[in-house]
Amino acid sequence: MNGKKLGAGLRGLLNCLIPILLAFLVGGIVIAVIGENPLNTYWVLLQKSLFTKVGFQNTLHYAGPMILTGLAIAVTFKANIYNMGVEGSLLLGAFFAGILGSRMTGNPFVVKLVCLAVGVLCGMAYSLVPALLKAKLRADEMVVTLMLNYALAKVLEFLTTGIFRDNGSGYVCTPMVSESAMFSRIFGKSRLTAFFFIVVAIWIVMTLYMRRGRLGYEIKAMGMNAEFAEATGMNVGKKIILLMLLSGALAGFAGAGWMMEDQYRYTLTFSGNPGLGWDGMLIALMGGHNPVGIFIASIFYAALKTGSDKINMYTNVPKEIVALIQALIVLFLAVKFIDGRFHLFERLKGKKGKESKTCS
């Protein structure tokens, strides 16, 4: 029994390592084709992000919001709700947290609390729209959230260039948040702030909730067979709304936090490219929709991000190559290499594995 569990764990680990290695392999070929040294590039990528003190702290800093968006994706994707609106929730939460943060001064603790709460509320309000459409009208949530994201981006662009524009600044952005709404850097040299530790606390609560709580079980049941879940007495429509709200809240919190610990003002490139919400999707997939997996995956992914900035500095490889590697990871992740198709695991274990299988 114990051995079987260990085998499953190893299988999961391999299932997520093989795509990463394959993606790096293909990426390496591309780097070699443009005439650079792939090993050197990858060494810079990893060394500058994981094996120096400042680099590692920066990696943790970038991982913070990604853990939250990863969880936000996981709670819906695992229940077979394809909520692409995490990016939108994050942007809306960040925008209004930023606006409020720029107008409010006073007790730093209260200001931060209010801003984060506003972020959460905005994120929830945004995800309520597709949730209601899905639960009441059964409109496909994926198409709806994608459309809403574009509509929201246009609205926020309008607000940033118009009403809320900071006229003192040379480029299009909202005013900077006040001193009391900023999370300050703990270690001075690196960007790490207290927000990361709040994220860790939320992560622990979510892990316990998804592992031991009723919610985790319900998510699993809905993901496996929504009709059956309904038949056994679960109100699936209501649960969809609940999960979408939870997802929106996590994403809004991530957005507000990112605003207050790193960006300080809303710009048109606030969440980067491809955006923290999309990063979250990759992380949730890489981590197998499992909280522990998500935590590890976000550290790894944040390392890619911090490292990719350094690639430009130390080599001639454009950092767009990292975006290509990300895409390849997602592509290879879609296929379960180990037991889905090739039964590689059984083959590796050889005859002994087969025997134990027949025994159990």
Partner 1 sequence: MQLMISILYDCVYHSAPIILAVLGGLFAYKANVLNIALEGMMLNGALFSVLTYYFTRNFAFALLVCLLTTLLYGLIFAFFGVTMKGNVIIVGLAINMMSTAVAGFILVMMKSSNIIIPEFDVNALKLNIPIIKDIPILGPILSGHPVLTYVSFLLIFLTSLLMYRTRFGVYVRVVGESEDAAKAIGLRVDLYKYAAILLGAVGCALAGMNLALDRLGLFTNSMVAARGFIALAAIYCGRGKPVQSSLYAILFGLSRSLAVNLSVYAGEASGLFDCFPYLLMIVVLGAASYVKYKNVKVRGFQV
Binding region for partner 1 (CB under 8 A)? 34, 80-82, 133, 137-140, 142-144, 146-148, 150-152, 154-155, 157-158, 161-162, 222, 226-227, 229-231, 236-237, 274, 278, 281, 285, 318, 320-321, 323-324, 326-328, 330-331, 333-336, 340-341
| Cβ proximity to partner 1, 60 vs 302, nearer residue | 302
Separation between Cα atoms, residue 155 and residue 159, nearest integer Å: 6
**Which residue number, 119 or 130, has a Cβ lying nearer to partner 1?**
130
- Closest to 76 measured CA to CA, from 274, 327, 250, 258: 250
Residue 277: CB minimum distance to partner 1, A: 12
- Residue closer to partner 1, measured from CB, 113 or 143: 143
The residue among 80 and 107 lying less far from partner 1, judged by its C-beta, is 80
Whether omega for the bond prior to residue 274 falls within 30 degrees of 0, making it cis, is yes
Q: How far is the CB of 34 from partner 1 (least distance, A)?
A: 8
Length of the chain: 360
Q: Closer to partner 1 by CB, 13 or 146: give it.
A: 146
Please say which residue, 29 or 208, places its beta carbon nearer to partner 1: 29
Minimal distance in Å, beta carbon 135 to partner 1? Answer: 9
Q: Return all residues near 188 (Cβ < 8 A) that are at least 6 apart.
A: none
Shortest distance in whole angstroms from residue 36 CB to partner 1: 13
CB of 76 to partner 1, least distance (A): 12
* Smallest gap from residue 355 Cβ to partner 1 (A): 28
Minimum CB distance to partner 1 smaller for 113 or for 231: 231
Taking alpha carbons only, the member of 23, 65, 66, 59 closest to residue 282 is: 66
Q: How far is the CB of 356 from partner 1 (least distance, A)?
A: 26
For residues 255 and 89, is the Cβ–Cβ distance under 8 A?
yes
* Among 307, 100, 103, 145, residue whose Cα is nearest residue 240: 145
Q: Rounded to an integer, what distance in angstroms lies between the CA atom of residue 84 and that of residue 331?
A: 17
Contact 126, 284 (CB under 8 A): no
The strand ranges marked E within the chain are: none
Residue 253 near residue 66, CB atoms below 8 Å: no
Least distance to partner 1 from the beta carbon of 120, Å? Answer: 24
Sequence-separated (6 or more) residues with CB below 8 Å from residue 252: 89, 90, 92, 93, 119, 120, 121, 122, 123, 124, 126
Nearer to partner 1, 124 or 236 (CB): 236
Q: Pick the closest to residue 310 from 32, 133, 47 (CA basis).
A: 47
